Structure 1
Amino acid sequence: MTVRDLLQRAIDADPDAPLVILPIGDGDDLAYSRSEFSVLVASLARQLSEHGVGEGDCIGVWLPNWPVALAAQFAASTLGAHVIGINTRYNVAEVENVVVRARPKVVLIADGFVGLDLLGRITEARRTALDAGRDWTDPVLVPIAEPGSEVADIGAYDLGGGSASLEAPAHETLADFSVVPGDPLCVAFTTSGSTGLPKLAAHDDSSVTTHAESCAAAMGLTGDDVFVCALPLSGTFGFSAAMAAVAAGSALLMHPSFRPDQLARQIPAYRVSALAFGDDMLARLHEEWQKQRADFSTLRWTGIADFNGESARYAEWLESCGAHATGVYGSSEVFALLSMWPDSVSAPQRWSGGGRMVGDDMEFRVVDETDTPVADGDKGEIQFRGPNVVRAYLGQPEKMAENVTRDGWFKSGDLAMRVDDRSFTYLARMSDALRLKGFLVEPDEIALRLAAHPDVERAKVVGVQATGETEAIGFVTVRPGAAVSGEELVDFCRESLAKFKVPSAVYVIDEMPTTASANGTKIKSGVLREWALERRA
């Protein structure tokens, strides 16, 4: 089974069933049946081939969640090429990093999407790379306008490698292309980049296919489901969810820009049954649900990534609507949705990060600093082995030895605790974990206590060494009209937390510092540490 086979299987089952739905407005949709989508894929594959794309080559996809962005993945796989997704929010340095390391032959680039000047960004990235003597190769740029619009000046996109328009689909079919032998690279994701510019973690075709089928089975997806595709396909979270939907034959409801007001209306209108979001997006959707009092009873399965410590709050809300809500786990190096909790696990555990591994061919271990497995119930770094593990880092082959052991274990850098042979609980990033009075403490445990205060809206806890030993420092935003002091919140923590877990100080701030990634919006812990050191000086 290959990525191309996933699409063909869906076509063979029901060629006229909807596969991709892009709401345009005023009740008008751009929709593709499975067979229509395959024509788009085959047409795109032919045009990429005419630009010299073949086995082993890279295609850059710098597009929002338009149907052509998903089609590009299947077109690349049909040719034995791989995709590097480029988030539309990437700055000049990030774009330069991706193009230099991935060396895409062709870049599909959004023209005029929500006023973004992507051409200006890649032009500046090219200039800075060449000025610095970096090995920049000009790709062919293929500008793509929003559905219903046209590109005004295609020639303006020629930076030296040429530019081309995207032709309308003709009558090509996937059968026109020979099957590519072997197991070529299929897709690459940028990592979080917390210790510098992001790495580009690449996976092969078979791992994408196997993981998509495992996810679809774990979520119970079928051809009757409608899955929201709102997270960018350029990130592992949005990509893994979309590929699982295709593997199951589910319809994808595309959101190029996440609009919670629209989605709140669309869930009942399109009978949406499944979604996978971070708690940051669910916070915005919940706000709209309260305004509209929309009917979310069609929701059946919801996966939640805990980016900001609020997953339990929104999981409880989704289950009140009738959906199964589960915490999930994953990363660019092992795919998102690597694990999730089944119905049989009770709340609140099933709302936490981690879960049961979806693939039987994947294994994990929890180890100490010497890579020795720890006893059940003890905390340590979680490591993974199996087909999901990153196969290569584009442009940085040396990174494999740094991140993967000789016997194939990927070092996640995440703190976790083993539940059983197939399940684990994610606790925190190892770099965020706190050593307080000799005890290893996950900061979210303290943050959850702060968030339980009726006046607190959001809470985050970081560790700093301002007085010679690690201290837990809390930051909170409060609800409109509320007035609570940091001293009162420290006392609130003393009521239920062990003495060594009580934060040394809590600071009330107007707004959390955040950063947007391909997988969601996360609170910037590094900025909070700087603020904590300033306040504790």
Structure 2
Amino acid sequence: MPHSIDTVTGLIAARAAEAPGATAVIADEGRLDYGGLDALGRRAAAGLAALGVGAGSRVAFWLPNSLAYLGLYLGCCRLGATAVAVNTRYRSAEVGDIVGRSGASVLVLWPGFRGIDFLGLLEGCDPAALAGIRHVVTVDPFGQGGPARLPGHLDHAARVDWHDLAGAPAMAPADGRDRAAPEAHCNIFTTSGTTRAPKFVAHHQASIAGHAQTAATAFGYPARRGGFMCVLPFCGVFGFNQVMAALAAGRPAVIRSAFDPAEVVALMDEHGVTDINGTDDMLAALMDAAGGPAAMARTPFIGWAAWGTGYETLGRRADAAGIRFCGLFGMSEIQALFSARPADDPVERRLKPGGTLASPVTEIRVRDPDNGAVLGMNAPGELEVRGPSLMAGYADDPAATAAAFTADGWFRTGDLAQLDGPRSLLFLQRMGDVLRLGGFLVSPAEIEAQLQAGPGIAAAQVVGVPGPDGTRPVGFVTLADGAGFDEAALQAHCAARLARFKVPVRIFALDDFPRAMSPNGMKIQRAALRRLAEEALQA
């Protein structure tokens, strides 16, 4: 498919015109071909329009992966409206913040998903945050029921059943309400907020549709005929960009509302899945559930985001089973599947995050954070990006948008990286996690690698704690089964391999690292580790 299709609805309509009977989506609720998916989006557009949704409107999706999610998203795109992603793991305060600040007029949710009372959770929201909601669309694909009445905070809103909304006559191509356009905003993703409220990352249809086609071509998706497993949540760019790339390639997207490793392995066998991407913890669970490489070894490569430590052990375990894990890179502002390691790279290089750029027109450079100089190959600095997958900006925050771009139009990613080949990058760390030790810029990953190489260490994390003599590194480790912990011996191990200023002043053993679910998967909470380190050093 040519990359000239510059709207999301145009992308799906083109696939429907080309192969209307080809399977598009296999979901918990059933399956749709491309003609049916296009028609579902047109019906959802008509139903949303009847609720007053139009160009510039925002619809909050507090919804798991489902046919309803895709249908409503395509409906929003056809009307020129924006889908605001809300993680289903978020609770009252988080949902209220996103819904209220986004100005959404419609909220979509699945009341009984995973047995959770989502309608009840809205009672805990600040009433002011829900004041702008005029309609609540409830998705109940399996007849789980739930209260007919909305919670008190939403007495002013009307409840609409998804099946009734999707039963509207399909919007015709010449309908005057169709506002799909390349420059129309269609997605808002949230950044991972830590010390402040998450920012709203806005993308327009040209960037979403264009990147879906670019990623599909770069990773060879159109050349394969098997299913594409899509289990990461659509509320984050990792999961969302996967399903869009699968659809752009004309592949059957096998989606699931919740992740069950044994079920996913069975589905991979049933539907001949040849492509899957995931996080390190997700892929580890799949390998354990598979009991062998058969279900995963048919894939030419598996893209992975290694957010924990100990990932090289997992990657080498996969390699020994004939499964090629390839490091990926991306973020909400530039989209996921931004780059990937080639499958024919040596394993030592292939497992590292980063890789070759998916887009032939995207540009990257690395800048020294201290003096602003643009750096050459293999020199670590802040990664800057310019290209078609970039966000339109931070919604409703022009100051943050302006601050995120250089004067000559490059996006400051906030990531420490280095150029490691022609049009290739190596991701090292978030800039906020980089340590200034002994007057030098140090990636915690360098120290973590030495800690993890110590006897009995399963995984490691390093954070910096400010002190009167500057920042000091503090290590946290988890232990292999049956291993003991000797802090002094581990410090001596590091001292024999690292400069003195890099050796952790203290090392603590934990049962596990503090973690939290982000829109793109489970991540270690480094801020929580910093607090633990500060408290321990003050004791």
- Whether these two folds match at TM > 0.5 is yes
CA RMSD of aligned residues (A): 2.3
1:414-440 Cα deviation digits (max 9, x unpaired)? 111122451111110111112222332
CA contact (8 A) 1:38 1:173 kept: no
Query: 1:172 maps to what in 2?
Result: 170
1:149 counterpart = 2:143: yes
Shift in alpha-carbon separation, 1:182–1:500, aligned structure 2, 3 A: closer
Structure 2: how far apart are the matches of 1:195 and 1:405? 24
2-structure distance, mates of 1:240, 1:189 = 12
Alpha carbons 1:327, 1:341 under 8 Å: kept: yes
1:48 and 2:39 are equivalent in the alignment: no
- Cα deviation, residue 150, structure 1: 4.8
Distance, in Å, in 2 between the alignment partners of 1:270 and 1:489 is: 48
**Residues 46-445 of structure 1 aligned to structure 2 (within 5 Å):** 46-127=46-127, 129=129, 136-145=131-140, 147-156=141-150, 158-167=154-163, 169-170=166-167, 172=170, 175=173, 177=175, 178=178, 180-181=180-181, 183-222=183-222, 224-290=225-291, 295-369=295-369, 370-445=371-446
Residue deviations 1:219-258, cap 9 Å, x none?
Answer: 1102613222111101111111111111111111112111
Equivalent residues of 2:324, 2:343 under 8 A apart: yes
Using the alignment, how far apart are the partners of 2:250 and 2:330 within structure 1?
Answer: 23
How far residue 143 of structure 1 moved from its aligned partner, in angstroms, is 0.9
Cα deviation, 1:382-414, whole Å, max 9, x if unaligned, reads: 111223222132232322112223332211111
Structure 1 residue 260: deviation in Å? 1.5
Q: Distance in 2 between matches of 1:38 and 1:358?
A: 27
Question: Structure 2 CA distance, aligned partners of 1:11 and 1:464?
Answer: 56
Residue 319 to residue 75, structure 1, CA distance change in 2 (3 Å): farther
- The letter for the 2-side match of 1:322 is G
Is 1:12 the counterpart of 2:17? The answer is yes
User: Quick one: distance in 1 between partners of 2:406 and 2:116?
Assistant: 41
Task: Give me the whole-angstrom Cα distance separating, in 2, the residues matched to 1:427 and 1:46.
Answer: 46
Shift of the alpha carbon at 1:173? 6.3
Unpaired stretches in structure 1, ≥5 consecutive residues? 24-28, 131-135
In structure 2, what is the Cα distance between the partners aligned to 1:319 and 1:225?
A: 22
Instruction: Return 5+ residue gaps in structure 2 as ranges.
Output: none
Alignment check: 8 A CA contact 1:379 1:416 kept: yes
Q: Secondary structure at the match of 1:167?
A: helix
Q: Is 1:485 the counterpart of 2:486 in the alignment?
A: yes
Structure 2 distance, partners of 1:272, 1:293, is 13
Tell me the CA shift for residue 107 of structure 1: 1.5
- Match of 2:303, SS? strand
* Counterpart-to-counterpart distance in 2, 1:127 and 1:395: 21
**Equivalent residue letter for 1:22:** A
Verify the 8 A CA contact 2:105 2:135 in the aligned structure 1: yes
Sort the Cα spacing of 1:180 and 1:527 in 2 relative to 1 into closer, same or farther, 3 A. closer
What corresponds to 2:524 in structure 1? 523
Output the CA distance in 1 between the equivalents of 2:199 and 2:373: 27
Cα distance 1:309–1:159, how it changes in 2: closer, same or farther (>3 A)? farther
In 2 relative to 1, CA 155–176 (structure 1 residues): closer, same or farther, beyond 3 Å? Answer: farther
Given the alignment of the two structures, is residue 33 of structure 1 paired with residue 29 of structure 2, yes or no?
no
Give the 3-state SS of the residue equivalent to 2:42 in structure 1.
helix
For residue 419 of structure 1, give the secondary structure of its aligned residue in structure 2. strand
Contact 1:341 1:354 in 2 (8 A): yes
Q: Give the aligned residue type for 2:453.
A: A
Alpha-carbon distance in 2 for matches of 1:395, 1:518: 20
Deviation at 1:205, TM superposition (A): 0.4
SS at match of 2:163: coil
Q: TM-score, normalised by structure 2?
A: 0.91
The 3 A distance-change label for structure 1 pair 181 and 269 is closer
Deviation at 1:523, TM superposition (A): 0.9
What TM-score do the two structures reach when normalised by structure 1?
0.92
Write the deviation string for residues 362-383 of structure 1: whole angstroms up to 9, x where unpaired.
2121112343312332211111
Distance 1:208 1:493, change over 3 A: same
Identity %: 32
Give the deviation of 1:450 after TM superposition: 2.5
In the TM superposition, residue 49 of structure 1 has moved relative to its aligned partner by 0.8
**CA separation of 1:92/1:240 partners in 2, compared to 1, >3 Å: closer, same or farther?**
same
- What's the CA shift for 1:203? 0.6
Alignment partners' CA distance in 2, 1:529 and 1:151: 44
Moved over 6 A (4+): none
Rounded to whole Å, the distance in 1 between the matches of 2:123 and 2:98 is: 14
Query: Does 206-215 or 448-457 show the bigger shift?
Result: 448-457
Displacement of 1:179 in angstroms is 5.9
1:47 to partner: Cα distance? 0.5
